[in-house]
Amino acid sequence: MEGWASGVHSTRADEEIMKNYSSDHRSGAFFGRKSGQAPQGRARARMAWMAPVWLALSVVGCSGIGGGSGSDSDSGSGSMTGTSESGSESGSGSGTTEGSGGSGTGSGTGTSAGETSGMTSSSGTTSGTTSGTTSGTTSGTTSGTTSGTTSGTTSTSGTTDTTDTGDAPGVPVDLASAGNFVILTKSGITNVPMSAITGDLGVSPAAATAITGLSLQLDPSNVFSTSTQVKGKVYAASYAVPTPAVLTTAIGDMQTAFTEAAGRAPDLIELGAGNIGGMTLAPGVYQWSSGLLIPSSVTLKGGSKDVWIFQIAQVLTVGSGAEIVLSGGALAENVFWQVSEAVNVGTGAQFKGIVLTKTGVTMATGASIHGRLLAQTAVTLDMNTVVETP
């Protein structure tokens, strides 16, 4: 408003001057022909008075009534590339600045890439706008987007081969639940007193009446019976539940173990033509297509993890007084006698290992076994010592 009023005042003054100019021009007084003043002096005095007026008009024209604009632009671009032992880098940029009462825009892009053991890449864009006025108001907006991808692949391959140059420990035959019994048969157990048996006995599908010579005492639960000759329990299929089902499972596991033992690939065949008396045998699988005779002691020499499996197609006969000697830490629980026909252990013989026979076992008077008798028919005892393996 102040500038507008100043402009109006100056305009009116100009009109007054023009009126005087017209009047003086007609009378000749504008150029100093009036009041006796020299024309040049009066003209200089009038111009000195008008100078402030024109200055004010110029200012008003710039700030409000007049108009003006200006622009300033600047642009540039540049690039840089470089390489090193581990990667490369490149970049480019551009920018523009222009002003009209104070405004500016700018943008830039950049990319860098490098490679070491993998690959990494990134890209980014940033843009911004700023505007302002001479009155002191500033507003700005900034937006940016950055994206990056990192990928890498690491692979390692190797093969380790370990060979045991010593005797292979072998794998014992899995007895499953059949391993819960020191004597397990399908047809029954006959005993001539007095025998000493350590471990549980089981008969199935035969009833308890198929167990003789042990003077059984039925437990009040009717699940098992006891005997003074047995340090353990005696089970039969005729007893109360769950005994019948437990025995059925055990008999099935016994038959599976027999099949597994028979299926092992042999290391030696027909050793001693079926007579191994006096021999010392290393761990392994031995097979005979006929019967096997052990007339005298045989030594099984090996460690506690070594396994012996004897596959015998016919009868196994252990002579009276013969002994199976375990040497070097060998364990009876890792010795398996898989016999397709009968097993006969002579008087006073000391037998060791787990017997898996498709028929029956007969222990002569005074013979002993440290192991298990798992027979698919019957077991006959005569004042024998039977001790289960762990």
Q: What is this structure's pTM?
A: 0.59
- Asked whether the beta carbons of 352 and 369 are under 8 A apart, the reply is yes
- Asked whether the beta carbons of 301 and 280 are under 8 A apart, the reply is yes
**3-state SS class at 121:** strand
The pLDDT tens digits for 93-110 are 443 333 333 334 434 333
How far from 318 is each of 96, 198, 285, 293, CA to CA, in Å? 108, 22, 19, 6
The pLDDT tens digits for 249-286 are 999 999 999 999 999 999 999 999 999 999 999 999 99
Positive or negative torsion for Cα 173, 175, 180, 183: negative
Confidence band for 88, pLDDT divided at 50, 70 and 90: very low
How far from 332 is each of 170, 228, 299, 325, CA to CA, in Å? 14, 26, 12, 10
CA angle (310 as vertex; 309, 314 as ends), nearest 5: 150
How far from 321 is each of 196, 269, 333, 342, CA to CA, in Å? 19, 26, 22, 19
Q: Are strands 87-97 and 103-114 parallel, antiparallel or unpaired?
A: antiparallel
Residue 169 confidence (pLDDT):
54
Q: Residue range 120-139: average pLDDT? A: 36
- Asked whether the beta carbons of 198 and 387 are under 8 A apart, the reply is yes
Residues 6+ apart with CB under 8 A from 372: 175, 179, 181, 182, 183, 184, 199, 354, 355, 388, 389
Out of 94-103, 195-204, 261-270, 311-320, pick the least confident. 94-103
